[in-house]
Amino acid sequence: SSLLLRCKGFSRAIVVDPGNFPKYISERYEENNIEWARIPAEEFEYTQRFDEAWIYNALPHVFDPTRILLQAKTYTNTLRIIESINAGVDIQHPFSLTKEGLESVLGVVGVVENLCDEPPSPRNDHFFGVFSFNG
């Protein structure tokens, strides 16, 4: 479930996730005035500019990470992102992101850190940052 459930005071909040989750997830979103677009992020059509977009643990799982990043860059003022990088490809992760690739698409410089000490794993390397885009 979305980190938006921890937020208050927003005028509009939308979760974009095609996942098939238990009914209580949609009920929690509804109770907290959070819209849920149950579609792939590549299919989400922005109808307004948003103050913020949050992308976390998503891009290795999608069809077109570049499209999603460019849409977020175009239609949001601030992007908060944390994604695993250099993790390899498998059935659940069709893309292996790199720091250089993310920075190239976004036109920014991010931070990379290994966020877990044990056990060592390439999936522990993460790219993150908060970036401003003013259209």
Q: Determine the residue type at 15.
A: V
Q: What is the pLDDT of residue 66?
A: 97
d(CA 77, CA 74) in angstroms, rounded, equals 8
d(CA 127, CA 110) in angstroms, rounded, equals 6
36-44 long-range Cβ contacts below 8 angstroms, 24+ apart: 41/16, 41/17, 41/68, 41/71, 42/67, 42/68, 44/16, 44/71
Q: What is the pLDDT of residue 43?
A: 94
In this structure, the strands spanning 76-84 and 125-132 are antiparallel
Residues in the chain with pLDDT values less than 50: none
Q: What is the pLDDT of residue 89?
A: 86
pTM above 0.85, yes or no: yes
